[in-house]
């Protein structure tokens, strides 16, 4: 298949860091972009999550607690049990 050029604009610091990363894993920058492009075409999606939602510190702490199994509520067998516990006076 014939090759063609694609020009992109990227800030210099990101380019330098990306080039360094590619070298460390044994790829050229061009090969890395080709892998990305082929993955997008094959999967018909960007192959990673795109989000602007950055969790605040309280949310990050809660997420860590979940991962570590800390400060979790007890289990419930029914929605009624959950609601009863939710509205109970502590």
Asked whether residue 69 is assigned to any structural domain, the reply reads: yes
Asked whether residue 29 is assigned to any structural domain, the reply reads: no
pTM: 0.55
Does residue 7 register a pLDDT over 90? yes
Q: How confident is the model at residue 74 (pLDDT cuts 50, 70, 90)?
A: confident
Q: What is the dihedral of CA 31, 37, 41, 42, to 10 degrees?
A: 40
Does residue 73 register a pLDDT over 80? no
Asked whether residue 26 is assigned to any structural domain, the reply reads: no
Asked whether residue 11 is assigned to any structural domain, the reply reads: no
- Mapping DSSP to helix (H, G, I), strand (E, B) and coil, where does residue 69 land? coil
Instruction: Give the containing element (helix H, strand E) for 40.
Output: helix 29-43
Instruction: Show the domain range for 72.
Output: 57-87
């Amino acid at each position: 298949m014939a090759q063609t050029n694609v020009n992109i604009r990227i800030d210099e610091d990101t380019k330098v860091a990306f080039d360094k990363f590619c070298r460390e894993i044994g790829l050229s920058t061009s090969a890395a972009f080709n892998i990305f492009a082929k993955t997008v075409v094959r999967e018909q999606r960007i192959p990673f999550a795109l989000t602007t939602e950055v969790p605040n510190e309280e949310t990050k702490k809660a997420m860590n607690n979940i991962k570590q199994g800390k400060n979790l509520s007890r289990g419930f067998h029914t929605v009624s049990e959950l609601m009863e516990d939710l509205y109970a006076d502590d």
